[in-house]
Amino acid sequence: MPQYELPRLGFGTVGVTDPSTIVTALETGYRHVDTAQWYENEDVVGRGLERSEVPREDVTIATKVLPRNLGAEDVKRTAAESLDRLGVETVDLLYVHWPTNAYDPEETLGAFDELYDEGKIRGVGLSNFTPALLDEARERLTAPLVAHQVEMHPFLPQTELRAYARRHDHHLVAYSPLAQGEVFGDPVLQAVADDHGVSVAQVTLAWLFEKENVCAIPKASGDHIRDNYGSLALKLSEEECRRIDDIEEEFRTVDPSEEERVDGVPWAE
């Protein structure tokens, strides 16, 4: 089992600019909120957490360090700034957002270990790592590796990284789990959704939850916040999961070759 359990469904906050969105998500039942220095909204998330009646200790809070801030002193300085913006004394997960730019396993992860020893973080998260980079990080870290966050959806099932997560007892956290809307045009997902009388989003998320050690952090607003949450109550049959597993179309929505932040880095499946 992973070092500690993450809620299967989290709330992604890319583009969130209104604290009331965070309040609505927490009132709906979400207990895992994911943000990042990159999103420039940690203060918004913090205000939402403060306004909510849900106790801080009931919410898993995750944020991520920008690639340019991955030097040891920058990690410690900007992590403190993130905690201040979030209005908390500790975060449950602090991620290396991308293993690029200033990332250096010894220096970067040494700083993460220090933050863990100081009680500023409960665990370490890595994001967008290959198996080889995960191996290297695990050899360096003394703090618990709780989660690895990658793009994952029916068109990018991340078979190798799911097996890796099971083998090494950490969570695989799926970002862009709805493939940035592409799932809504898939006939297999639509047919399963029609059979259950639910949305394609719920089917897609429920399929992810059938995978061992997998969590998902879809972003949402308005009625989609509650609709996505309904996926936790949906149980798919083995046959339905196989049909989704057998979808032949394969693609990713975040292309690292087009991103300066990941220039030159070999990529996972």
The pLDDT-based confidence of 155 (bands split at 50, 70, 90) is: very high
Compute the average pLDDT of residues 93-121: 96
pLDDT value, residue 256:
66
pLDDT at 177 over 70: yes
Q: State pTM to two decimals.
A: 0.93
By the 8 A CB rule, do 140 and 109 touch?
yes
The pLDDT-based confidence of 257 (bands split at 50, 70, 90) is: low
Per-residue pLDDT of 228-240, as tens digits, reads: 999 999 999 999 9
The pLDDT-based confidence of 268 (bands split at 50, 70, 90) is: very low
268 vs 200: CA distance, rounded Å: 27
Q: Which of 39, 103, 116, 229 is catalytic?
A: 39
Point out which residues pair with 61 in neighbouring strands.
Answer: 33
Active site residue 4: no
How far CA 16 is from CA of 41, 53, 94, in Å, comes to 7, 20, 19
By the 8 A CB rule, do 164 and 133 touch?
no
